Amino acid sequence: MAGTSGFSVSGYGPRRSAWARMAARDSILRKLDWPLLLSAITLSLIGSLLVYSATRNRNSLTHGDQYYFFIRHLMNAGIGLALMIAVIWLGHRTLRGAVPILYGLSVLLMLAVLTPLGSTINGAHSWIVIGGGFSVQPSEFAKITILLGMAMILASRVDAGDTEHPDHRTVAKALGLALVPMVVVMLMPDLGSVMVMAVIVLGCLMASGAPKRWILGLIGAGVVGAVAVASLGILDQYQLNRFAAFANPSLDPAGVGYNTNQARIAIGSGGLLGKGLFHGTQTTGQFVPEQQTDFVFTVAGEELGFVGAGFILLLLGIVLWRACRIARETSELYGTVVAGGIIAWFAFQSFENIGMTLGIMPVAGLPLPFVSYGGSSMFAVWIAVGLLQSIRLQRPIAA
């Protein structure tokens, strides 16, 4: 077989079999960050089981096919994996050139959501229904284009060797770039995604070495803004209650308070080893709403216990640890900023998602990376994994 192939990576090297090439020291496969990849795959697989457990009895959602969400989740993960390979194959540097196009595309898609093309699912007007049971959430992809766009702007002069760190002008330009999609998402309104985007912006800024005052200024502005919103009566009392209900479920007992309370009961009742997969009473009894998406972690907590839920935390930790390593070890700033944005994104979204099920964060509709059911989110996080792998591989710009 090896002899029939006319293709070789290097014109100077000896011909090698496909297996040998893959196992070779300089092969892409050998250089991939396997802990990162395996953790992400494991999380996706665990996610498929949890999603299955949460949906197999929800006939109104599955229309009688109890494997509907299970298969979909696996399909999404498979597509995600393919997207990752595509991103690795293209390389992040190649994508750097395409950032303006991607950015423009994502903003246009999000604007389309605001037109009659958009749909409201679970209270968030952030979807475009394609048909055939498929729908896209453009804001998930906007997270990627924001961090790619910011990285492009922030690193362009530094990587060119003009300055050591991004100057104020560059930072302002980068913020301007991020602001456009954030405003659009705000209009949907999808506050959770806006928060993630803001954290991505912060992550990018920090990783880029931008002046401290920008970072602290942004954090300060966020705090002042939040206090102003809360105290100036812009929000109704019920909205504030809904926000605060994570800490005190009695503030919104029928809504958010019910969710957080049932989520806490589900997780708490799991104990050390859990009630066993598919044996959670809270899960089987459908006491926790949105359990296959935003509250998927409660299934793990109830059915797999502290050990299983802790294992998910551990896997997320490995993903983030590898991402940090990649950010530290890459040579050019562009990669560092992209990785920084991804770390901020994954970390914040995981913390917010799990934190709300544990009752330490307010309830916001954010999926748990890899684990929650949802195509757009799954694709986006796998693209991000592809970007991380690509940064690690340091592949040159494709010809």
Q: Which residues bind another protein (CB under 8 A)?
A: 57, 155, 158-159, 161, 164-165, 203, 206-209, 262, 264-272, 281-282, 284-287, 301-302, 305-306, 309-310, 313, 316-317, 320-321, 324, 327-328, 330-336, 340, 343-344, 347, 350-351, 354-355, 358-360, 394, 396
d(C-alpha 372, C-alpha 350), whole Å:
11
Nearer to another protein, 282 or 389 (CB): 282
d(C-alpha 189, C-alpha 364), whole Å:
12
Nearest to 154 by CA among 216, 96, 208: 208
Quote the least distance from Cβ 101 to another protein, whole Å.
24
Quote the least distance from Cβ 93 to another protein, whole Å.
9
Quote the least distance from Cβ 177 to another protein, whole Å.
20
Quote the least distance from Cβ 211 to another protein, whole Å.
10
Quote the least distance from Cβ 111 to another protein, whole Å.
32
Nearest to 76 by CA among 373, 342, 295, 389: 373
Nearer to another protein, 347 or 381 (CB): 347
Quote the least distance from Cβ 118 to another protein, whole Å.
30
Find out whether 396 and 91 touch, Cβ atoms under 8 Å: yes
Helices (H), the chain: 18-23, 28-31, 34-55, 59-62, 68-90, 92-114, 138-159, 168-187, 191-208, 212-231, 237-244, 256-268, 281-284, 296-299, 305-329, 333-357, 375-393
Structure tokens at 276: 């066993």
Instruction: Output the CA–CA distances (angstroms, integers) from residue 127 to 281, 350, 367, in the order listed.
Output: 32, 22, 15
Nearer to another protein, 213 or 328 (CB): 328
Nearer to another protein, 90 or 351 (CB): 351
Nearer to another protein, 91 or 375 (CB): 91
Nearer to another protein, 110 or 153 (CB): 153
Quote the least distance from Cβ 307 to another protein, whole Å.
9
Quote the least distance from Cβ 321 to another protein, whole Å.
8
Structure tokens at 250: 């009695």
d(C-alpha 193, C-alpha 145), whole Å:
14
Nearer to another protein, 149 or 166 (CB): 166
User: For residue 173, what are the contacts with CB-CB under 8 A and spacing of at least 6?
Assistant: 153
Instruction: Name the packing angle between helices 138-159 and 333-357 (round to 10°).
Output: 150
d(C-alpha 277, C-alpha 383), whole Å:
30
Is the Cα dihedral 57, 61, 65, 66 positive or negative? negative
Nearest to 202 by CA among 83, 194, 142: 194
Nearest to 157 by CA among 137, 178, 173: 173
Quote the least distance from Cβ 6 to another protein, whole Å.
28
d(C-alpha 209, C-alpha 197), whole Å:
19
Nearer to another protein, 66 or 135 (CB): 66
Nearer to another protein, 9 or 20 (CB): 9
Nearer to another protein, 37 or 313 (CB): 313
Nearest to 141 by CA among 126, 125, 122, 119: 126
d(C-alpha 216, C-alpha 363), whole Å:
26
Quote the least distance from Cβ 331 to another protein, whole Å.
5
Quote the least distance from Cβ 28 to another protein, whole Å.
16
Nearer to another protein, 135 or 286 (CB): 286
